[in-house]
Structure 1
Amino acid sequence: MATKPGHPAAPSPDRDNPLFNQSLEKGLEVLRAFNGVHRTLTLPELATLTGMTKSSAQRTVHTLEALGYVDKHPQTRRFRLTPRVMEIGYNYLAADALIPVASPYLSQLAAASGETANLTEPVGLDMVYVAQLMTAKHMPVLTPVGMRIPMYCTSSGRAYLSTLPDAQVREMLEQSERVARTPATLTDVAAILARVEECRTVGYASNEEELFLGDMGLAAPIVNSQGQAVGAVHVSPPASRWTMADARKRLAPLVQECAWAISRSIAH
C-alpha cells in the first residue's frame, strides 16, 4: 500500500507473514486517512488516499460504519469519524505508565516556567503529545494531546534523537521528508545533526520558529533505567514573550531538571 500524502512514516509491515491481517491494515488506513485537512471524505477520496480499490474501500468503510467508528453525514453523504475512535487513543493514555509518573513534575515545570509543559513520546519519525500541563497564558499554537510533530525540526524530537547512535540518527533523518515548515526550518541532515550533537553537550535541544512561526522549543530527553529514551519534556516559549537567549538561560535548566526527575522516578 502506497504512502499517503501527509501520513507519517510507519514501520514496514511484514505482509509475507501468514499471521498478517490485511483487512485490519485496510481498516486502520481508512481511520488514519481522516485528519485536520480531510475532516470528511467521499468513498473515491478514501480509495485514493489509502491506495485501495473503490470496492475494497467500500467494504472497509461499511465495516467501520457498522462498528460505529465512521458514519455518513445525512446531508452531504460524506464519511466522517465518530467520537468512538477516541476510545482507542484514550485506552493508550490510560495504560501508559509514564504519564502518571510525569504529571506532577510537568505541573511543577509549568508553575516554575509560566509556560505550558509538554510530554511527548516517539512514534516512527515523529513525536506525539501524550500529556500537557497548561498555563493561563496565551498559546500562539494549538498543540493538543494526540498531535504528532516531526523529530527533525522540533526540540523534543532532537532531544530524543540525541540519545541514539549517530548512524541511527542519520538514517532516521534521511528517511524524514524534512520539509521547510517555515523559512527558519533546518532541512540539511548535517545541520540537524549538529543541533542533535549540541543537545548531547548542553543537555537540552532547541528549535527557533522551525515548526511554527512565533513558536520556539526547549526540550530534554527522558531515559529509563537502561539508559534508553522513552520520551521528552519540552516547553514552547512564544517569541512574543521570550528571546531564545533568555529562554536558554531561564527555561532550559527547568526543562532539564524536570526530565531528570522523571527519568529518576521511572528508573526505580
Structure 2
Amino acid sequence: MSKQIFPSDATKDRRFVESLSRGLNVLRAFNEGSVTLGNQEIARITGLPKATVSRMTFTLTSLGYLSYNARLEKYQLSSGVLALGHAYVSNLRVRQLAQPYMDEFARLNNTSVGLTCRDRFHMIYVENRLPPEQSLLRMEIGLKLPMATTAAGRAYYASLQEDPRKELLDALAERYGEAQWPEKRAGLERAVEEYRQFGFCLSLGDWDRNVNTAGVPITLADGSTMALTCAAPSYLVPLEKIRDSIAHQLVILASDIQSLAS
C-alpha cells in the first residue's frame, strides 16, 4: 500500500477534499507499478476499495488523464498528465535562471548538474545540464530518484526542520521495512551531519555504485525547497575530488542560484 504524505493534520482540515485526494492517488499509483495497471492492481497499490478505483479510473479517463487499453483491460497515463507536468516545468523560474550557471559548472568540473524537487518519497529532475561532449549521466526531466540513497534526497531531508524531518523519517521507515531501513537510516543520519558541517550531502556509490554525487538544498522565495546536485561516474571523477573540491563549489553555486531566485 502506498502511504500518503501530507502536511501535518491536512486531512483533518474541512477544506481537504477526500475525493480529489483519492483521484490523485490513483494517478500516483503509476509511479509504484508498471506502465499499465488494472483496477485491481491500482486498488492494491493505493489501498482504496476496488469500486472506488473503478469510479476514479472512469472519471480520469473521461477527463483525458488516463487512457484505457481494451485488449489488456488496463489503464495507462495519458497526455493530460504530461500537459500538467510540462506547464509546471516551463513556468519554473528558478530553472530558467539557473541554466547558464549550471552549464558553466558542468563544463568546468566535468559533471552533470541537476535541479530536483520533492515528490513524496522521491526527488524529481526538473533540469539536468551536461558538460560538452558528455552524455554518460543524462537524466531526463521527470526522472525520479529515491529519497534515502541519493544526494538530492539526502540534501532535501537534511534541510528540513525537526518536526517535518521526523515525519518523513517515520514514513520512510514504514516504506522500507525492518530489513532495509537500518542501512537507509544510517545514510540519512550521515547526510544530516555532513550538511551541518559542510553545507552539502554526499552519495558515493550508495544509489549507483559507479556514480559519485553531491547535493545542496536551495530554499526559494516561496519557502519551498529544491536540491541542486552534481554527479559523475567514479572512474572519471573520484570520490575524493567530489568530496574535497567539487561539493564545496556546488555550495557556492547553490547560494548564487538561491539569491537569483529570491
Calculate the TM-score normalised by the size of structure 2.
Answer: 0.83
Query: How far did 1:16 drift?
Result: 4.3
Q: Work out which of the residue numbers 178, 182, 187 in structure 1 matches 2:184.
A: 187
Task: Report the 3-state secondary structure (helix = DSSP H, G, I; strand = E; otherwise coil) of the residue aligned with 1:210.
Answer: coil
What corresponds to 1:145 in structure 2?
141
Any idea what SS the aligned residue of 1:62 has? helix
Distance in 1 of aligned mates of 2:49 and 2:168: 31
Distance in 1 (alpha carbons) for counterparts of 2:155 and 2:196? 8
Question: Following TM superposition, by how much is the alpha carbon of 1:243 offset from its aligned partner in structure 2, in angstroms?
Answer: 1.7
**Which of 248, 251, 255 pairs up with 1:260?**
255
Partner of 1:198: 194
Structure 1: which 5+ residue stretches go unaligned? none
Distance (Å, rounded) in 2 between the aligned partners of 1:144 and 1:35: 16
Superimposed CA distance per residue, residues 205-239 of structure 1 (whole angstroms, 9 cap, x where no aligned partner) = 1111111231221122224579x672221112112
CA distance 1:61–1:13, shift in 2 (3 Å):
farther
The percentage of aligned residue pairs carrying the same residue is 25
Query: d(CA) in 1 for partners of 2:70 and 2:64?
Result: 15
Q: Per-residue deviation at 1:157?
A: 2.6
Within the candidate set 72, 75, 88, 2:71 is matched to: 75
Q: May I ask how many residue pairs the two structures share in their alignment? A: 257
Is this contact kept in 1: 2:116–2:123, CA < 8 A?
A: yes
Give the 3 Å change call, closer, same or farther, for CA 30–218 of structure 1 in structure 2.
same
The CA deviation string for residues 162-211 of structure 1, in whole angstroms up to 9 with x for no partner, is 4344565455334323749xx9x94245x632332222222321111111
Compute the TM-score of the two structures, normalised by the length of structure 1: 0.81
CA distance in 2, matches of 1:46, 1:192: 30
The structure with more helix, counted as a fraction of residues = 2
Cross-structure match for 1:243? 238
CA distance in 2, matches of 1:56, 1:42: 13
- Residue 111 (structure 1) aligned to one of 107, 113, 116: 107
Match of 2:216, SS state, is: strand
Structure 1 residue runs of 4 or more that deviate by more than 6 Å after TM superposition: none
Query: RMSD between aligned alpha carbons?
Result: 3.0
